[in-house]
Amino acid sequence: MNIKISPSILGGSFSNIEKVIFDLNHSKAEYIHFDVMDGDFVPNLTFGPKFISDVRNCSDKVFDVHLMINKVEKYIDNYIEAGSDIISFHIEIEENISDIINKIKSKGIKCGLAIKPKTTWSEIKPYLNLIDQIIIMTVEPGFGGQSFMNNQVDKIRNISNYIKSNNLNIDIEIDGGINLETGKICIQAGANILVAGSFLFNQVDIISATNSFSDKFN
Ligand code: DX5
Ligand code: ZN
């Protein structure tokens, strides 16, 4: 089984971003997770497309961009041009979900939908034929370092069962409060990609932290 790790750079220090990316480049992580926040969809602000495009010059990892923003239609071209490999946006936004998915896919980029803890999983059903990835949030989006919500595990299992029984080819990524213990629970429920922020970046050696985290699941 290939479990992918997507370290969230939100857990690292932006004052030291070159070192953060250097470490991840030299680790077993396949992805790098970018949390884009607009201060509107979530009560926090992070960075925009320039940051992603600057980091693009320093890494060949898969850029897994998680948009926690309301105005996706307005800004999507900027995130595509920045060099994202996978762009996920939230199903809860009040815009035309299918149109945005089609736009992203038409540029040859993978597309994901992210789902907040309070949103029921069946909301995502109409779009499952169109997407490559689901991000199931196991914290309220907006901040790193929160505790994993155990009550989301059934949602992971339900989505995983539905995907399997319909022979769909969709990655299930879990985001929020992931560590060794909660990561294992998510994988047992059917996840195949784990986002990890504070768990990895709170350790002294990011390369060995990421490698041993990956080894535990592979
Ligand atoms: C939360 C973000 C997460 C966050 C995860 O809104 O989407 O990606 O960085 O951080 P940890 O692993 O610390 O919960
Ligand atoms: Zn995220």
Q: Is the CB of 66 under 6 A from ligand 1?
A: yes
The residue whose CA is least distant from atom 4 of ligand 1 is: 144
**Residue 130 in contact with residue 111, Cβ under 8 Å?**
yes
pLDDT of residue 65: 99
pLDDT tens track of the chain, all 218 residues? 799 999 999 999 999 999 999 999 999 999 999 999 999 999 999 999 999 999 999 999 999 999 999 999 999 999 999 999 999 999 999 999 999 999 999 999 999 999 999 999 999 999 999 999 999 999 999 999 999 999 999 999 999 999 999 999 999 999 999 999 999 999 999 999 999 999 999 999 999 999 999 999 99
Q: Taking the domain 4-217, which CATH number applies?
A: 3.20.20.70
Among 35, 77, 99, 205, the active-site one is 35
Nearest atom of ligand 1 to the alpha carbon of 137: 7
CB of 69 shorter than 6 A to ligand 1: no
Q: How far apart are CA 201 and CA 26, in angstroms?
A: 15
Catalytic (active site) residue 77: no
Packing angle, helices 17-25 and 206-217, rounded to 10: 40
pTM of the model: 0.98
pLDDT at 78: 98
The per-residue pLDDT for 26 is: 98
Quickly list H helices, the chain.
17-25, 49-56, 72-81, 97-106, 153-165, 180-188, 198-201, 206-217
Assign residue 6 a region (left: φ > 0; alpha: ψ between -120 and 50; beta: otherwise).
Answer: beta
pLDDT of residue 49: 98
| Domain spans, the chain | 4-217
Neighbours of 182 (CB within 10 A): 21
- pLDDT for residue 9: 98
- For residue 57, give every residue at least 6 positions away whose Cβ sits within 8 Å of its Cβ, in sequence order, or none: none
pLDDT of residue 185: 98
Ligand 1 contact via 35 beta carbon (within 6 Å): yes
Greatest Cα pair distance in the chain: 46
